[in-house]
Amino acid sequence: MRKLTVFNSISLDGYFTDARSDMSWAHKSDPEWVEFSAGNAQGSDGALLFGRKTYEMMAAFWPTPEARKQLPDVADGINRLSKFVVSRSLEKATWNNTTILKGDLEAEVSKLKNGSGSPIVIMGSGMLIAQLARLRLIDEYTLVMVPIVLGAGRTLFEGLDRKLALKRTTERAFENGNVVATYVPA
């Protein structure tokens, strides 16, 4: 069975996007962070799972020459992985290795999890994370806490209708102030 994991940046006040849906505040390019990011992207043969909005944003950047110029190892890793996008409106996926999931969310994701292979990682996709958290389908949450206070924005768990107790399993602090902590359901 494959593990379904979240990897997302959040501000100190708990937002993954600011009030304008911008996530650029989360991207720091110091050498230690770039090495960590590249290691994550290159070290997996897993898959990525997105909601439509995040998929379209990622597909507009990662396959481009600019992405390969800025972060070649990350771009190579992300472009190589299998990708799944949950959408009722997306008709065609143009990013290589992408499958559109249009059916029942719980059934589609359960089918992915029941397969073999490395973890499936959700990046961005706050609405999708909230839905899957509600269904208790997420096995692990890796959150990058970025030392910034946004004051407003969107949380990863909007619409969650009950408490979700988590237990921290690992953490790592970076020189740029980021702290990466991994949690599993308690």
Higher pLDDT, 6 or 73: 6
Smallest CA-to-CA distance from 133 within 149, 122, 148 is with 122
Smallest CA-to-CA distance from 80 within 41, 53, 118, 119 is with 41
What's the confidence (pLDDT) of residue 38? 67
Q: Read off the pLDDT of residues 136-169 as tens digits, 9 standing for 90 and up.
A: 999 999 999 999 999 999 998 888 888 999 999 9
What's the confidence (pLDDT) of residue 147? 95
Q: What tokens appear for 120 in the block?
A: 């499936």
* Mean pLDDT computed over 115-130: 90
The percent of residues in the chain predicted with pLDDT above 90, rounded, is 72
Which residues are CB-contacts of 103 (< 8 A; sequence separation ≥ 6)?
none
Strand duo 17-18 + 153-154: pairing: antiparallel
Q: What tokens appear for 104 in the block?
A: 């029942």
In the predicted structure, residue 42 carries a pLDDT above the cut 70:
no
What's the confidence (pLDDT) of residue 44? 62
Distances 74 to 35, 39, 82, 95 between C-alpha atoms, Å: 9, 8, 14, 15
State the CATH architecture for 4-185. 3-Layer(aba) Sandwich (3.40)
Higher pLDDT, 117 or 61: 61
136, 109 in Cβ contact below 8 A? Answer: no
- Rounded Cα distance between 100 and 91, Å, is 8
Smallest CA-to-CA distance from 94 within 104, 103, 108, 83 is with 83
Q: pLDDT-derived band of residue 122, with 50, 70 and 90 as boundaries?
A: very high
- pTM, 2 dp: 0.90
Mean of all residue pLDDT scores within the chain: 91
